[in-house]
Every structure is written in C-alpha cells, then in structure tokens.
Structure 1
Amino acid sequence: MNNNQGAIIIGAGIAGLAAAIRLAVKGYKVNVFEKNPTAGGKIAQYSSKGYRFDAGPSLFTLPEKIEELFFLAGENTGDHFRYHKLETVCRYFFADGTVIDSFSDPEKFAAEMHHKTGENPENIISYLKKAKALYGFSSEIFIDNSFHKLSNYYTNKAFRKAGLKLWKLDPFFTMHQRNTRSFQSGKTIQLFDRYATYNGSSPYKTPATLKIIAHLEHNLGAYFPEKGMYDIAVQLQKLAERKGVVFHFNTIVEEVLFEGRQVSGVIAGGKPYRATVVVNDSDVATFYSTLMPEKKIPKRVLKGDRSTSAMIFYWGMKNTFSTLKLHNILFSNNYPEEFDHLFQKKTITSDPTIYIFISKKLVVSDAPEGKENWFVMINTPEDTGQDWSYLVRIARENIRNKIKKQLAVDVNDFIETEHVVTPKEIEKNTLSYHGSLYGSSSNSQFA
C-alpha cells in the first residue's frame, strides 16, 4: 500500500484544482485523481476543423478568487493568466424585436433598460444596491464559512448573526415574486428572472436570495480570459504542479477507504492510496452512490428537483455576425411554460430560451478568419430516460427557426461543422448525476 500521509483530491475540476493548490501551500503532499485525460471538469474544450470551443461554463466572475490562489502560492497572476472586464455582459433579444445590452456599469445598464423598456432607472439601481448588500451579508455565511455542519451554526459568529437577521436573505419570496414587486416592465422581470438558471433552478420556485447573482454581473462585473475559459483550468493545473501536486489522469476512484469512522484514503485505478485528508470534487449524489455505497446517502442530496441539464450545439459558422456579442440570449416568449416543461413535464419546449456564446469575438484564434465558433445551448431537464436523439432533432429545428426569425440568419447556410452534447454525454463526461449540471436545484425556500 502506498504510504501517502497527505491529501487526496477526487476530481480535477476547478474546485479540485483550487483545493489542491491550497493544501499544497499548507505543506500537504497532494495527489489528484481524475477519470478524464485533462483537468478542468466541466471547464473543457472541443476542437474541430480549425474551430476551438470552450465546452462548458462561459461566464467569468470574481477573478480575484483566481488571483488569491496565485497569491497564496507566492506568484503573480499576470505572469501566467490574464483577463479583461466586459463592458457588455450580454445582449438580450426579445420576441418582439427589442434588443437590450446588459452593461456591467449599473448606471449605464439602468439607462439602457429605461430606454428600451421604460423601466424606471431607480428601480434598477435600488435592486442592485439591495443585491450588493445581500451579497455582503450572505457571502460571510455561505462562501467564507462552511455551512455543511449544523454545529457551525452555533459556534460561528456569522451564523449566529444570520439567525437573528434571516429576513435579510429574502428567502420568503421566490425570485419571480421579488422581481415582480421590484420592476414595472415585463422584459425587466424576465431578464432578472433568468439569474435563477445560473444554478439550474426556476425563478418561479427558487428563493429571491439568488438575486445576489445580479450583483456579480452588474456591480462587480463580468470578465473573460485572454485565451478563453479553458485557460483557467490550464493555468491552475500548472500552478498546482509547480507546488508539487501530482495528477493521476485517466484514473477512476473506485472506493473511499475508512478506518473506523475516519476517512483514510481511496482505491484508485485498482490501487490503495492513504491520506489524512480526502476532498471530493465530484457530483455529491454520484460520490455517495458509487464511492461509498455502504454509507447512507443523506436525504438532502436526492431530495427535491434536480437542476437543469443542457443540450449544446457546437457550430463552426463560415461567416461573421456583427449583430451578436460574446454572450447572447434569445428569450422564450413564454417563460413560465419553458420552466413548466423543464421541471414538471421533463422535456423541452418548442420555444426555448437560446444562449449563444462566441469566444471568437475576443479570442481571434478560436476560429478561422472570417468565421465564428457558435456555442448554442438550451436548458433541458436531467436525463430521466427521454429519447435524446429525437429531442435533438426537434431542438435543432426550433433553434434554427427562432434564430431565423429573430436574427434573420438561416444557420443551415453557414454551419460547416457540428458537435452535439446532451445530458447523456454530460453525465458520461463529468459523472454528473443524471446529467444535472449543478446537482440539486434551489427550487425550495431554503435550498
């Protein structure tokens, strides 16, 4: 048996990489086990015929969290990883032809909303100020401290203070209810309702607490790496290796080992590895069901709705399109129906909200000259046995028709390469339970 009195990380996603760096800086001998051939987890990349696609997450906020890792490791972030702030976070297209640019500057964004929808600018500014205050209050609880142990609630000052001011978290209204009370325009409400989807939830169910996401985009700002999102994974892996972290790629962890009630290591690739610390950076439901089958899965892990998954079309487009920005949203004309299909009917609607991400807008090497790399995504339910081949055909046609109607572009005239990912592939590639991108959804009051 390998005598490794150090730390083991299960999964080389971004959280796993961050944990590995932090533990290595503290002096642990760190081994990271990853079933895939590369690090990054859901932050991955795909290439075809001269096109490169960031295959997973595409919105970059809180870059200081990356800088903190380099600082802890005694290095300068700018020597390895560079990024820029976005002036326009996203361009929104509505069914009636309205186009709204979502600016990172709150005042400019409020003016845009007033000009395009008639929304009172003060409503926007007030909402974002409240979101900022909520973030300052909630981050002390949920980000800067561990919330997984009940004992922490009684021993930590921030948790005790939260108990006295629970109303500040705004948990008693859904996001949609809060937005309806905050704004006059239906378009403004829909735009802010969308933030529930950032962790795979429904604005009609998730608590208004998640309005803090608007603070990240409009008060703190959104950013983009000079070399694309995948460079985050590349640079964090290199940083970890410089700190002595050892990576074991193409290696599946089969079991978590215990000595009594204490975790003592893992079996990976058929070999036992001992460690005093084991950190899991894989889907929690998958972790319990496959790596600790004899342990009882906590009810909260499988309770309630699973988060949404996604269907993604990676299209190499033999043209450029000035109408589109880096991030683009074509809204459904019936948002309640879309979420009813996702969470109740467990299928896709004929009028889905479409997200189009084009990294070529900022990373010129991501597509040949005069061409663009379109990452086209719609939300889907998790995999419960649907016929995904059929749904891909239906979705492709619905997406084509919607883009043709709203952008006056027939994508069939320009697609020269296509790759499609469904919840089935997402589960296979990332071990996400049933392909849910974010595990459990936040579709309950205290999710």
Structure 2
Amino acid sequence: MKIAVIGSGIGGLATACRLASKGHEVTVFEKNDSPGGKISEINMEGYRFDTGPSLFTLPELVEELYGAAGEKVPATFAYKKLDVLCKYFFKSGENLIAWSDQQKFTDECVEKLGEDPSNVTRYFKSALLIYKITADIFLFNSLHKVKNLLKFSVLKSLLQVHKIRFYKTMHEDNKSSFKSPLLIQLFDRYATYNGSNPYKAPATLNVIAHLENNLGAYFPEQGMYSIVKSIYELALKKGVRFNFNSLVTSIDIKNNKAVGVSVGDEKFAFDSVVSDSDINYVVNNLMDHPQKKRIERLEPSSSALVFYWGVNKEFPELDLHNILFSGDYKEEFTNLFQEKTIHNDPTVYIFVSSKMVKSDAPKNCENWFVMVNAPSNSKENWDELIRATKQNIINKINKSLKTNIEDYIEYEKIASPITIEQNTLSKGGALYGNSSNSMFAAFLRHPNFLKSVKNLYFVGGSVHPGGGIPLCLASAKIVANEIPAS
C-alpha cells in the first residue's frame, strides 16, 4: 500500500520505519526543513542545544524499533545510564541528589530530609505495581478495540485497576506516602512530564516514578537529537521518502475513507494516511472531524518558556538535569492552569547537555537549557511575561548558586508558547496536546484511529497513549500493528 505520514516527530518517524519494513511504500510530509517535530536542535556561536525532550527512558523501545525493521542498532546510537537522575535545589535551602542507585537515593532522603526509608521503598514498589497493571491496558494497546480489552493479560489488569488509585490525585497520593513536604514536592513534579497539574491529575501518573527511578534514566552520547537522526537514517534505509517544507493542508476523505493528502493546491493519492500532527490542529485545519467539539472542550496541557543560554563559565554544582523548586508549588500550578500566567517564583529546570557531550559548548563554557512551565497561549502579553519571568529566573539562579549569572551569558535564544506553536503546530504551544487533569484522562485521549473514517490513523504525543518519547514510540507500534503487511 501507499501510505502517507503527516509529520516527522518521533511517532511519525517510528511509524514510517515500521510500515516500510512491512513492505509499504511510505512518504512523510513535514512542514519544516528537517525531521524531529518537537525534538530539534540549535547550533549557534559554538553552542549546541537540544530543543525538545531532555529525558530518555525505556531505550529498549528504540532498540525494538530497529529489531522490527530487521536491523541492528548502529554504533552511532550509543547511550549511557545516568548515575544522577537530577539535582534538586529547594527554596528552603536544602539540596538533594536523586541518585539512580535506589539505596543511595533512599539514604539521601533520610539524611537530608529526615524521611522514613521504608516510605521510599514502598513508594517505588507501588510505582512498579501501577506499571504492571497499566502497561497492557494503557501503554501498549489501543483502548478503543474490544478485542484488546478481552486479552487475558488485560482482563487480569482490569481486576486490579483499583490499585492504580485513579480516584486520588497525585498530590494526595504523594502526601499520604511521605512525611517530608520536600519529597512530596519532588514526586509531584512528575505531573509536568505530561503537562499536567499534580493537584488534579490522577495518582495513576505516579507510574512515571517507575520509569525514571526503578528502570533508570539514560542519555545519548551525542545528545537527544541523535535519537531523531538515528531513526531518520533508519527510515531512509528502509526506503521511506521525505517531502520537507511540505505543509499538509488537508486530509482528503471520500466515502468515509482517507484517500490522500493535499499540500496547498496539489493533491497526493494514498491508500492510508497516518497523522503525527497535534490532534487539535487536525480537527481545526485538516479535516471535518466528528469529535471536533469534544476535543476543543478538553483542557490543553501546559507549554514552556525556554531560554537557551551560552554560558562562558562552568558550574560544577550543576549536573545534567537540575531543578530549582518554587517555594509555593500549589500556587505555581494555580497560576499556570487557572490564571494562565507564570508564577513570580517559578520552578526552574536547567538542562546542561555539555556535562555529557563536551562538544556542545566551547571549552570552559556550558550550554544551559533553562525552562519554566508556562500556560498554553491564550493571548497573554508574552513580551511582558517573558521579561518579568526572565528576571525572576535570574534572581532564583543567583540565590541558589550564589552567582551573578548575567555576567556569564554570552548567547541567548528564547522559545515561548507562541514560537512552539509556530514550529510544531501544537495548539497554543501545548506540549502534550491535552492535559491529564481529570480522573479519566487516559480514556479521553484521542484514539489511534476513527471508526467513522477508514484507513486514517493517529500517532504522537497528543493522542493515545500520550506524550514523551516512550509513549510516542508506543503509539507508532500500536498503529503499525493495525495496518497489515503489504
């Protein structure tokens, strides 16, 4: 079959590889001049920055992709397991190292935060249990086919579904798990991994702790964008064609069947179409979608405000991943989702890939990816909000690191919800499509297909099973399994 893939994010690339390996003739249409979607890179003034996701978990899913394509993982795609998952700096002055080694991390929590060690051990066991129960139901199967729900492994999981605590919020669950407010805040942060609010998102999302703390976090030796480069090269090897600078303007449907795509006035005929575009963009721009009103009512996920700083100084107190926490986390999320603004004491994430990839910055310098969570764009005064937030970030960094960071910034580029929307077509710059701020959020994500339109499929972070590299790879596998070999 001739299959069109709209978008070359991780989900689109992985789907293209799988379908080409099954004998299909695959063409990818990408609006930008390079692949990657939200995962891109900036090269400027001797600095290189990864611009999208910075955390790499479940690397075996990439290896499985190569296996499905009948290929070996190339030596150029090498990665390391991190000894330090993240360094945390709290407003109250405490600092905490999240070690990959669970005993070391537990000891750190006991020594620095006075936490009961059994609480930490019990929490990680609980996260593992949530993963075991949810993996077959939510992550690696379509929720929208009865035959999938009748599998023995799924039925077994459904009998234990009360154990995933979907009826509690993440914060409520974390508060009942730990006595240290700082440790509660640390694990509440995982809600931001899919753009949600821990005071509203279901405790089921505490499964994220399993992926990072039980299974471990990794980092590609050549940076995050090397994941895109590797999968893109695999796609080329399998015969996938790429049309860059080609913005798809419609999904062409005839007699309730996808028959092709249009790029401007030019129409291209295909037997099937796979969309890796943000689902909100799809329903508003590419087709007459039967669920348009329902999708538009869903709450968007958060976006981000990012400062890419070339810093002509090394900071040994920082690691690859670093968090400078807000002193009032609940107020920060109230600002983010209800008041649609950025708190004046935001949590600041600093990602320094040059800690691992020395060539990402000039000698004795560092490349800082400095991010705060931001609301999706709804006509805020971004010029003023960026100015004020930048100063708040600088003040926080100076206090936490006892420095004057402005003296060392020699290069700056800024990404806001506006530029994220322009570059990725995600509505309002929302990073994960819709938020998971409800009890049944997993069931509300858009399915990987439509019963009303044949031969049309959906992958990527805005649809089932969700955002982030592992889930986008999972969505690609789900869709590829729906399309029979040629």
Q: Does 1:287 align with 2:282?
A: yes
User: Equivalent residue for 2:353?
Assistant: 359
Shift of 1:150: 5.4
Secondary structure, counterpart of 1:52 in structure 2: strand
Q: Does 1:260 align with 2:255?
A: yes
Q: Distance in 1 between matches of 2:163 and 2:277?
A: 32
Q: Distance in 2 between matches of 1:446 and 1:260?
A: 33
| 2:396 aligned residue (399, 402, 406) | 402
Q: Distance in 2 between matches of 1:412 and 1:20?
A: 44
Unpaired runs of 5+ residues, structure 1, are none
User: Equivalent residue for 1:371?
Assistant: 365
User: Equivalent residue for 1:99?
Assistant: 95
Secondary structure, counterpart of 2:188 in structure 1: helix
Q: Distance in 1 between matches of 2:295 and 2:123?
A: 32
User: Equivalent residue for 2:159?
Assistant: 164
Where in structure 2 are the equivalents of 1:48-447 lying within 5 Å?
Answer: 48-147=44-143, 149=144, 151-152=146-147, 154-292=149-287, 294-447=288-441
Post-superposition Cα deviations, 1:344-392, rounded to whole Å, max 9, x if no partner, equal 1000111000000000000000000010000000001110000111111
Q: Distance in 1 between matches of 2:104 and 2:230?
A: 34
When structure 1 is superposed on structure 2, of 295-304 and 268-277 the one drifting more is 295-304
Secondary structure, counterpart of 2:436 in structure 1: coil
Shift of 1:6: 1.4
Alpha-carbon spacing, 1:150–1:185, altered in 2? closer, same or farther (3 Å): same
Alpha-carbon spacing, 1:221–1:153, altered in 2? closer, same or farther (3 Å): same
Shift of 1:289: 0.9
| Letter of the 1:220 counterpart | L
Q: Is the 8 A contact 1:146 1:152 kept in 2?
A: no
| Letter of the 1:44 counterpart | S
Q: Is the 8 A contact 1:313 1:421 kept in 2?
A: yes
Q: Distance in 1 between matches of 2:116 and 2:161?
A: 29
Secondary structure, counterpart of 2:249 in structure 1: strand
Q: Distance in 2 between matches of 1:209 and 1:110?
A: 22
User: Equivalent residue for 2:449?
Assistant: none
Report the TM-score when normalising by structure 2.
Answer: 0.89
Report the TM-score when normalising by structure 1.
Answer: 0.96
Secondary structure, counterpart of 2:227 in structure 1: helix
User: Equivalent residue for 1:36?
Assistant: 32
Q: Is the 8 A contact 1:312 1:422 kept in 2?
A: yes
Shift of 1:32: 0.5
User: Equivalent residue for 2:458?
Assistant: none
Q: Distance in 2 between matches of 1:436 and 1:158?
A: 34
Shift of 1:159: 4.3
Secondary structure, counterpart of 1:253 in structure 2: coil
Unpaired runs of 5+ residues, structure 2, are 442-486
Post-superposition Cα deviations, 1:327-347, rounded to whole Å, max 9, x if no partner, equal 000000000000000011000
Q: Distance in 2 between matches of 1:268 and 1:156?
A: 41
Shift of 1:103: 1.2
Q: Distance in 1 between matches of 2:395 and 2:253?
A: 55
> How many matched pairs?
441
| Letter of the 2:51 counterpart | A
Secondary structure, counterpart of 1:203 in structure 2: coil
Identity percentage over the alignment?
49
Q: Distance in 2 between matches of 1:300 and 1:119?
A: 44
Secondary structure, counterpart of 2:242 in structure 1: strand
User: Equivalent residue for 1:21?
Assistant: 17
